[in-house]
Structures are given as C-alpha cells and as structure tokens.
Structure 1
Amino acid sequence: MTVEAAMIWNEPNNKSHWDPGIDPDWSRFGEMAKLAGQAIRAEHPGLPRVLGGMSPIDPLFVKRLAGYGVLEHMDAVAVHGFPLDWNLWQIGEWPAKIDEIRAVTDKPVWVSEVGVSTFGADEVQVWGLERTAALLKGRAPRVHWYSLYDLPKTWEATTRHREAEGSSYYRHFAMGLLREDGAPKPALEEFARHTPDLGLCQWFHYEDHRLDDAVAWMKRLGVTYLRTGLSWADSFRPDALRWFDRQMEALRDFDVTVTFCFTPEHRGLAPHHTSAPQAPEEFAEFCAAMVRRYGGGGGRGSAAPA
C-alpha cells in the first residue's frame, strides 16, 4: 500500500464542510487538527501531514491556524480553486493565489483540488484544463485535478444549501473527465497530455460501483498520484473496514493522499457531518487507526512535502 500523505479534513473554511455556527473562530477545528497531526506523527513519523485544502484561498485563515499552533503539526498546506465555476477571481490569478499563502507560511503549498465543470459547455473544460496546467505545473508539489467522474445525478453533492444555490449546486455534477455512464468528455485527451505531472482527486463513496473502472482509467491515462478520502462517519458502518480495505487495495499502485474527514452524526456537537466533534481526540484516534492500517512504511518518496 502506497499512502504518501495524510490530509486532515477537507475545506475547513467552507461551511459546506465545517459549521462556522458551532465553531466561529475555528478554535475547535484547530484543537482537532493538532491532535490529529500528533496522532499521525506518532503512528508514522515519516508520513507528510497536509492541512485540508482551503476553499476559499485565504491567508488570514492560515494565520489564524498558525496562531493556534496548528501548523507546527503540519508538513504542507493545501488550497482548492475553481475560478471558472465558483470563485470570484480569474483563472490567470492562480500563481498570485499560491503566492498569497506562501507569504504567510513556509510550508509547501499543494493544490489538492482544481477543476472546471462542463455545465455550460464541454469546450470550457478543455480550455480550462489546458490553461490550468500551464499555470500550475511545476508551481506546486501536488496538483490534483477534480475529478475523474461526474457525480451521479441520483446522489447529493456535499454542500449545505443544495438546490437553493442555483446553478452553483448543479455544477458539482459536471466536474468529471468522464460522464456518469463512463463516456469520455473531450477534456480527457487533454488531461492525458499532462500526466504524470497532474494527478487526480476522486472521492469514492461507500461501496462505490465506479472503483475498479476508475483504477483502469487512471492507469490508461498515466496517472501516478491520487487524492481520495476515508470517512470517519462511514467508519461506523457495520462492515466499514471491508470497504476501506477494498478501496485501498484497489488503489495500491498509486501514490495516495488520504483525506480524513466527515464527523459521524452521533459524535458531533450537532448531528451533521460538518459539525465539530464532541471529543476531538476520537477523530485523532480514527486518523491513527487508518494510518496504522494503510500507511505501511510510507510511499515511494515521490511527493516529499518540500
């Protein structure tokens, strides 16, 4: 098993993934992240720990967490950007956005999600991918394109307000290089021109029927590194470890950044996956258990945080 990094949470400054009503100053998040970083280090001293990708990209958020001592327990920080779909900045600002974060931390800055939807037109994704690659290749240690597959329309996107967000919500379903049925979009060929420099971010749902086909596609495309997740909430399903084992075994030939996130409803201060947990050490224990199970002796060294 090749786990090359452990990412702590996903978009912690986005209310679709962390409830600011419960934790308005992110102090609870900071405590949880520190405990998780310490637990991962104790379990696997050589495994890079990455602060979950920011969305929006916000240097003040980094400074706040640094003030809580969080960055002392991280080896890299990550950012997410979707300027053609959700952000209020232009795609050409990508280098400046990374520099904003570099100005407030000496940690390497990963781009753990970047993508373009085909909501308006397939051609927009082709152009956006080409432009993104030109702007980001060689500028960040890791660039994870989001994503391989469109989100099935029968599923819900992980966002708070759902259809009330209008077109912003429906763009979640059109981020893939492959359509829901596995048919390639025009941007797939463009993506293949940028591997292995570009990797992928693909979330696999519990017992995801796309897993084996995804692995086959990634190998065909020349992908060598991937970001995915293991859900703390899913870990309470009766046969969770069987699914986790199957997912991680299927991904054994890739350098995998594993994201640990999603609060179990019964362990949150509120019954929602975005809630701060009642006992943050329980999240740290989950991270340690997953690293112990899947971390092995570390990755092939292709993604040292520096």
Structure 2
Amino acid sequence: MIEAAMLWNEPNNKSHWDATVDPDWSMLAAHVIAAGTAIRAVNPSLPRVLGGMSPIDPHWLRRMEAHGALEAVDVVAVHGFPLDWNLWPLAAWPDKIAEIQAVTDKPIWVTEVGVSSFGDEAVQVFGLRRTAELLRGRAERVFWYSLFDLPTSWGAETRHREAEGSSYYRHFYLGLIREDGTAKPALDVYAEHAAEIGLMQWFHFHDPRLEEAVAWMKRLGTRRIRTGLSWADSFRENAVDWFDRKMEALADFDVTVTFCFTPAHLGIEPHHTSPARDPQAFADFCAWMIDRYAGTATIAPSTGPAALAAAQPELNPLLFNRDERLAAERKSA
C-alpha cells in the first residue's frame, strides 16, 4: 500500500517548520535521522524521502547533508509553484532540477507542483500542460497539487494567513475540482497525464471528501497518490480508526505517505511547526505507521524478540521500546 515514506513537508519553509527555534536545521536533521533509521528497521526496502523543499535550495540541501540527514534518506524531493509563489519562471523547471542534481546523487522527486486558477482557469490549463512537458523524464515521480480546491471555510496551513494578501488566497484554488464539486477545464488535461503524474491530496481529520476523491482518482486513471498521516492527529480521539479508513480507501494506489505536524504537547513550542523536544518520539510515530501499513520486507511477523535481537541487535531499542514510548506519550497528552 505504501510506496514511500516522506519525512516532513517543506521543512525549509517557515510555514511548516519553525526556523526561529531551529535556525540551522540541526534539530530537523535529528528528526530525519531518527525517523529514517526507525523506518529502515521496520521495512528495510521502503524508500525514505526527505520532505519536499520549498523553496528549491541547493544550499539548504548541503546544510542537511552536513548534519548527516542525507544518510538517512534515499530520495530528495522538491516543490514548485512558479506561476503562483516562486520567484522564477515556469520554463526554469529543468534548471531548478539541475541545481539539485549538482549537489546530490540521490533520485529527485517533484512531490508537489501546481498552478492555481485564482486569476483565470485558463492559466491553470496552460500551466499543467506546460509543466508536464518540462518535467517529463527529469524526475522519477511527479505529483500534481491538488485534486480538490481547499474549502474556503477550512483555512490554509500557512503562518501569516490573510496578511499574505493574494498569496494566501491562491491556496484555495489549486484543485482540479471546485469546492462545489464541479470540474475545472484543467481536469481533462490532467487525465491525459494521469498515468505518469500522480496526485497530491491532503485529507483533513475525518475528511468527508475521501470517498469522492478515490472515485475521481480511479476514474481519471491515477496510479500514484501522495498524502499525509499527521503525527498531531494521532493523539485525537479515534485517530487510528481514521488512519485505517484512509489507508484502506487508498489501497488500490501506490501511496507516498508524508509524516509531519508536531503534537503541541510534544513540541519545544506548542505548535505543529515546532521541533519535538525528543526527535525519537517522531521516529516512533513513523515506525508505528510503517509497521501498521507497510509491514516489513525482511522480518516475518511471527519472529520473536530474541530472534530479532540476535539478527539486528543495534535496532533492538527502536523495535522493542516503541510501544512503551507511544503509551507514555499518549498518557502525557
């Protein structure tokens, strides 16, 4: 069910990671290293993806490499929205990919790319078609953001909200389907590329659009999906039931799952963008989700603790203390 695990979302963007707490991203690196190690312990063959950077910044990637984070991932991801937010033209996509290729030999995925219909729906049609041309053959995975417009009553996950002016309101028009459920012209263009370009869709807790989204994606011929499992949501009532329902609904797709959002009570600051006080707590959540939805590629489920310890003693604390740690975290919530 899970094709890959992504560690955080846009971690070099101040709307998603609090750089005032972690100005050199060393704490982020500790989270990535801990989570990457924990995921590898549970499923050694599952690709681990460094959360898609936005902006696309080779200097930031070098910093993460200096902190040792790239040793714990298999793929580097980038996000780009040149017709809405980035300060570079649409035609620069090949150059932006090349900038990252120049500083790493890891595969590069474009895990979010999109064009809003905020100004004109014809701009989205042009942008989707041109983006498909520019990225073809340059990235192993491309995910279009997104299937649905964000309902205006929900609010966007960005730090400064309405103070951002039109940049904030563009968040609500990035879907291929309007809030009222009707299709935009760009939907037909996406359908032409659905076999090669996946869809990135965030689902809110108990999102009422889940079944409708699955029906649309199957109708369009989409093969790959990127979505998120929120660490913060895991402390909400009936969280596991929601996670199970979502992952079961997406079972027919190849899913890249993104782990992010710090529970307020576990953060250095009480906010979902804050580094956790203990990075291992994030790693435990990631390992728990992979164990539940992606299993293990090399260790039989019936294998006992003694055999596991003998086979991989250095991973023993990750494998055997996780349940106790998770129980303690939930007790403290």
Fold shared, TM-score > 0.5 on shorter chain: yes
Runs of 4+ in 1 over 4 A off after TM superposition: none
Q: What is the 5 A alignment of 1:1-306?
A: 2-296=1-295
Aligned-partner SS, 2:228? strand
Q: Deviations over 1:112-150 (max 9, x none)?
A: 000000000000000000000000122101000000000
Provide the rounded CA distance (Å) in 1 between the counterparts of 2:172 and 2:156: 7
TM-score of the superposition, structure 1-length normalised? 0.96
Q: Structure 2: where are the runs of 5+ without partners?
A: 298-333
Partner of 1:304: none
Provide the rounded CA distance (Å) in 1 between the counterparts of 2:46 and 2:284: 16
Q: Deviations over 1:146-182 (max 9, x none)?
A: 0000000110100000000000000000000001121
Q: Is the 8 A contact 2:116 2:170 kept in 1?
A: yes
Q: Deviations over 1:228-283 (max 9, x none)?
A: 00000000002100000000000000000000000011110111100010111000
Provide the rounded CA distance (Å) in 1 between the counterparts of 2:137 and 2:292: 32
Provide the rounded CA distance (Å) in 2 between the counterparts of 1:181 and 1:272: 31
Provide the rounded CA distance (Å) in 2 between the counterparts of 1:5 and 1:129: 24
Aligned-partner SS, 1:266? helix
Provide the rounded CA distance (Å) in 1 between the counterparts of 2:231 and 2:239: 10
Q: Deviations over 1:26-71 (max 9, x none)?
A: 0000011100000000010000000000000000011000011111
Question: Residue 124 of structure 1 aligns to which amino acid in structure 2?
Answer: V
Question: Residue 86 of structure 1 aligns to which amino acid in structure 2?
Answer: W
Percent identity, aligned pairs only, is 66
Provide the rounded CA distance (Å) in 2 between the counterparts of 1:129 and 1:91: 10
Provide the rounded CA distance (Å) in 2 between the counterparts of 1:179 and 1:282: 38
Aligned-partner SS, 2:91? helix
Structure with higher Rg: it is 2
Provide the rounded CA distance (Å) in 2 between the counterparts of 1:93 and 1:267: 40
Question: Residue 147 of structure 2 aligns to which amino acid in structure 1?
Answer: L
Question: Residue 187 of structure 2 aligns to which amino acid in structure 1?
Answer: L
Provide the rounded CA distance (Å) in 1 between the counterparts of 2:203 and 2:117: 21
Q: Is the 8 A contact 1:6 1:48 kept in 2?
A: yes
Provide the rounded CA distance (Å) in 2 between the counterparts of 1:139 and 1:296: 31
Question: Residue 28 of structure 1 aligns to which amino acid in structure 2?
Answer: M
Q: Is the 8 A contact 1:3 1:296 kept in 2?
A: no
Aligned-partner SS, 2:193? coil
Provide the rounded CA distance (Å) in 2 between the counterparts of 1:274 and 1:99: 29
Aligned-partner SS, 1:158? coil
Question: Residue 43 of structure 1 aligns to which amino acid in structure 2?
Answer: V
Root-mean-square deviation over aligned CA pairs:
0.7
Provide the rounded CA distance (Å) in 1 between the counterparts of 2:295 and 2:172: 34
Aligned-partner SS, 1:249? helix
Q: Is the 8 A contact 2:8 2:260 kept in 1?
A: yes
Q: Is the 8 A contact 2:44 2:296 kept in 1?
A: no
Partner of 2:320: none
Q: Structure 1: where are the runs of 5+ without partners?
A: 299-306
Question: Residue 63 of structure 2 aligns to which amino acid in structure 1?
Answer: R
Once the two structures are TM-superposed, the CA of residue 8 in structure 1 deviates from its matched residue by 0.2
Provide the rounded CA distance (Å) in 1 between the counterparts of 2:194 and 2:172: 24
Structure with more relative contact order (C-alpha pairs < 8 Å, separation 6 or more): 1
Provide the rounded CA distance (Å) in 2 between the counterparts of 1:297 and 1:92: 41
Aligned-partner SS, 1:193? helix
Provide the rounded CA distance (Å) in 2 between the counterparts of 1:66 and 1:22: 20
Partner of 2:321: none
Structure 1 or 2: larger helix share? Answer: 2
Once the two structures are TM-superposed, the CA of residue 296 in structure 1 deviates from its matched residue by 3.4
Q: Is the 8 A contact 1:81 1:87 kept in 2?
A: yes
